[in-house]
Structure 1
Amino acid sequence: MSVRLSERTLSEIAATAAVPRYDRSRLAAGILHFGVGNFHRAHQAVYLDDLFETGEGHDFAIVGAGVMPSDQAMRDKLASQDYLTTVVEQDNARTSARVTGPMVDMLAVGDAEAIIERLADPAIRIVSLTVTEGGYFVDSDGVFDPSHPAIAADGASPDQPKTVFGLIGAGLRRRSERGLAPFTVMSCDNIPHNGKVCRSAVVGTMRLSDPAFADWIDANVAFPNGMVDRITPATSQREIDHCRETFGIEDAWPVYCEEFKQWVLEDDFPAGRPALEKVGVQFVPDVSPYEAMKIRILNGGHAIIAYPAGLMDVHFVHEAMETDLVARFLDKVERDEIIPVVPPVPDTDLGDYFSLIKRRFANPKIGDTVRRLCLDGSNRQPKFIVPSILDNLKAGRAPEGLALESALWCRYCRGTSDGGTAIEPNDPNWDKLVERAKAAETDPSAWLAMTDVYGSLKDEPRFAEPFARWLAMLAEKGTAETLRVYLGKS
């Protein structure tokens, strides 16, 4: 018999899952978070839940907010269960469930005034966000694009913003008008220098309507960089059913994740912060080495296995790791072309880190899908793959393996697997990618002409030539045989 998740039923749920032992009625909001998705609930919210269990930080509870239709759907689900979430951690050796309770409210999507007013609440000292890699309106060089229609609209109507960055700017303005100190803005997204990128987005948006206040934000508001890590697949009916059948919990949207998690943060919180170092968060002067390691080795590794596996009709990530050609492709590209250009990381052996990553990818309990890894390549490739390509070229090496990865992404965007299965749209720019992938069959430079992804690499023969060669081989021989050729090269 299952029990619907709510504050009232926690005593029953405690028989099968850990539940909050702190008094949620005594929590006070200190963080407003944009983008209450699975990763946030498996990562930042879990760290806060751990801290609250120690009896500390109870004035840093979370209020959720969002701007997308999916945010409203999440609000409806979470509100129906008192903003509680079931987090199921799955390791090779065990599966455990816990109910987390650091969220106390979530604001209605589209109510800009309510969000701005909550941002102006002096109790809110941190505004955090997870809006995905593509949500920062930047080009391939990480430069903010103020001409984007959504940003331009906020510039024209700064009192009725619809983007996260317009809302944050409006909230900071209202605090300033009331003589209140600014909050800290903390990006939890998986992008290099996420604090710097977030600063550019907020300042750039405000500059369209109030350049002087934009300068004030740039000079007075803290945007610490951070590195976040936890593999967290999307929730489907599979996870909802498993949660009910295994733990007896009826959760409208449970979160399933691996046991491993990591968070490295620059300690720049002038308005105060919770003592997260007591629950495993690592505070450092400079997060850059950690984020470069993670983004290139883990996220780059995801891209390396994603497209060959997708073209070979492999469904789950652990199945991709069980596919010899895919696993060997990952190993060779990482060891030959990625790890050698990752800067040293304090107290970290990069070889050991890669071994850990492979074990995490191979975890069969996670149920992470290849399709999720293939998602949004147009925003992920310039952040996860292209920097390693450029560093190899600077070192005088032709990046054969990364050129093949790029050709595999192009071939994937052709829209059919090697077995003839249709690949459903899997990128915000899918139609344009399909058009370019078809054009690249006869003119490979058509794909590399995406300067927002590749910059000027189209004109670099040490990359363009192997890309064209691998793309032609994929069309002629298919993915498996092309991988065999690559792996057989010295």
Structure 2
Amino acid sequence: MTVKLSLATLPNLPAKVARPTYDRASLRAGIVHFGVGNFHRSHQAVYLDELFDSGAGHDWAIVGAGVFDGEKIGRAKLAEQDWLTTVVEQDSGHMSARVTSVMVDFLMPGDAAVIIERLADPAIRIVSLTITEGGYFIDPASGVFNPTHPDIVADAQAIATPGTVFGIILAGLIRRREDGIVPFTVMSCDNIPGNGHVTSDAVVGLARLVDDTLADWVQDNVAFPNSMVDRITPATTDRERSILSSDFGVEDNWPVFCEPFKQWVMEDRFTDGRPALEKVGVQFVHDVAPFELMKIRILNGGHATIAYPAGLMDIHFVHEAMENPLVRAFLAKLEREEIMPTVPPVPGVVLEEYCQLIERRFSNPKIGDTVRRLCLDGSNRQPKFIIPTIADRLKDGADVTGLALESALWCRYCFGSTDSGAVIEPNDPNWDRLQATARTAKGAPESWLAMEDIYGQVGRSPAFAAAFAHSLDTLWKLGTRETLTRYLGGRL
């Protein structure tokens, strides 16, 4: 018999399901979070849950927020269970479940007026974000904020009734400025190099379109700490709901399954205080950049490395990709020969040990992470996780054979069919454009690299263009397996 999750049923949960030791009624909101998805609930919310369990920080509870209609579905699922979430950690020798209760409200996504009113509340001292790499209005080629995006322009013209996350944040800051309230900290928890700087560029850039004096005030008075966040967290499907029900006796509309490992490294720059997260393992540092670059290149770049060959070979789960000798060896060779040499030393970290940890985490057979999830949104992810590494290698005159192959595999994937002929369903916000370009690139590889907004100067490099064209031609003539075999044997 299963127990339907809610505050009323917490005492009735099976004994093996951990639950909060704190009283939810004792919590007060201190954080508004945009992007209440699986990663947020497996990461930031878990750290806060551990802090609250220790008896500290009860004035830092979370209020959810969002801007898209699609987020209303998740809100409705959580509302039915009083904003509770069951988090299940899994690896080959471990599985545990805990219920977190750190969210005390979830404002209706898209209701800007209500969200702005909450942001004006002096009790809210942090606004945090997990809105994905594509949510920051970054021009992929230049890597900087794009103030000409139509949504940004629309917000600048009507900042009192904004439609974007950054418009709502800026409107909230305007209210606090008018009311003489200390501004909140804006804390990005997304996988973007310099995520604090990127967030500052977006908010200040939008403010600059509204009023120069406002932009200067934001720049001078609002903190945007950089952070590195890490925890592999797949999407929730009926598979996960079924496992939770059968193994733990809990019925949860939207549980989160994740690996046991988690990491959060953050700069200690906040305008109006912060939770004492160092008590529960968050590492506060002066400069997060070395940690961030290591993670983005080795882990996120590693995900991209295994994603597209696995997708082309009809492999479904990530751990199954790691069980494939060709995919695993491709990852090992590319990481050590081309990716890791671009990563500077990181305080207290041995890069080879970190890479081995990544390989073990990718091999976790329990969390059910899918290859398709890793292949998602390459048009936003490649410019952040792969192309900067290529640029650094080219600048040093170093070999880019493996990175060119990775890029060719992405192009081949975007053609829309696997090596077996199976159809690849659209898997990118820009899928139509990518597919059309990939089909042209089959006979004219240079057309793929001509996507200036993605490749920038890298696409104009003769050395990279030649390596890319050769890899793509080999993929089409011989298929993924033989191409990987040739690369691994030094014959590509």
The TM-score, its normalising length taken from structure 2, stands at 0.99
- Amino acid across the alignment from 2:117: E
Deviations 1:391-450 (A, max 9, x none): 111221121000000000000000000001100000000000001001111111110011
Structure 1 residues without counterparts, runs of 5 or longer: none
Identity of aligned residues (%): 66
* Helix, strand or coil at the partner of 2:17: coil
For residues 450 and 282 of structure 1, the distance between their equivalents in structure 2, rounded to whole angstroms, comes to 38
The Cα shift of 1:256 comes to 0.3
Deviations 1:160-200 (A, max 9, x none): 10100000000000000000010000000011000000001
Partner residue, 1:63: 63
Equivalent positions of 1:363-402 (< 5 A) are 363-402=364-403
The Cα shift of 1:218 comes to 1.1
Equivalent positions of 1:218-297 (< 5 A) are 218-297=219-298
Count, aligned residues: 490
* Aligned residues of 2:387 and 2:458 also touching (Cα < 8 A): no
Partner residue, 2:458: 457
For residues 217 and 349 of structure 1, the distance between their equivalents in structure 2, rounded to whole angstroms, comes to 38
Partner residue, 1:45: 45
Partner residue, 1:186: 187
The Cα shift of 1:229 comes to 0.1
* Aligned residues of 1:188 and 1:228 also touching (Cα < 8 A): yes
For residues 206 and 77 of structure 1, the distance between their equivalents in structure 2, rounded to whole angstroms, comes to 35
Between 1:198-207 and 1:305-314, the stretch displaced more is 198-207
* Aligned residues of 1:398 and 1:463 also touching (Cα < 8 A): no
For residues 37 and 30 of structure 1, the distance between their equivalents in structure 2, rounded to whole angstroms, comes to 19
- Amino acid across the alignment from 1:93: G
Between 1:449-458 and 1:87-96, the stretch displaced more is 449-458
Partner residue, 1:356: 357
Partner residue, 1:137: 137
For residues 327 and 395 of structure 2, the distance between their equivalents in structure 1, rounded to whole angstroms, comes to 27
Partner residue, 2:421: 420
* Aligned residues of 1:264 and 1:283 also touching (Cα < 8 A): yes
The TM-score, its normalising length taken from structure 1, stands at 0.99
Partner residue, 2:156: 155
* Aligned residues of 1:30 and 1:62 also touching (Cα < 8 A): yes
Between 1:161-170 and 1:65-74, the stretch displaced more is 65-74
Partner residue, 2:473: 472
For residues 249 and 208 of structure 1, the distance between their equivalents in structure 2, rounded to whole angstroms, comes to 50
Between 1:68-77 and 1:317-326, the stretch displaced more is 68-77
* Aligned residues of 2:185 and 2:271 also touching (Cα < 8 A): yes
For residues 171 and 43 of structure 2, the distance between their equivalents in structure 1, rounded to whole angstroms, comes to 27
Deviations 1:58-115 (A, max 9, x none): 0000000001122211111111101100000002211000000100000011211100
* Helix, strand or coil at the partner of 1:69: coil
Partner residue, 1:177: 178
For residues 20 and 59 of structure 2, the distance between their equivalents in structure 1, rounded to whole angstroms, comes to 16
* Helix, strand or coil at the partner of 2:86: strand
Q: Does 1:406 align with 2:407?
A: yes
Deviations 1:334-390 (A, max 9, x none): 000011110110010000000000000000001000000000000000100011111
Deviations 1:143-167 (A, max 9, x none): 1011111111111211110100000
Partner residue, 1:342: 343
Q: Does 1:114 align with 2:111?
A: no
* Aligned residues of 2:390 and 2:458 also touching (Cα < 8 A): no
* Aligned residues of 1:18 and 1:98 also touching (Cα < 8 A): yes
- Amino acid across the alignment from 1:333: L
Between 1:139-148 and 1:309-318, the stretch displaced more is 139-148
- Amino acid across the alignment from 1:169: L
The Cα shift of 1:14 comes to 4.5
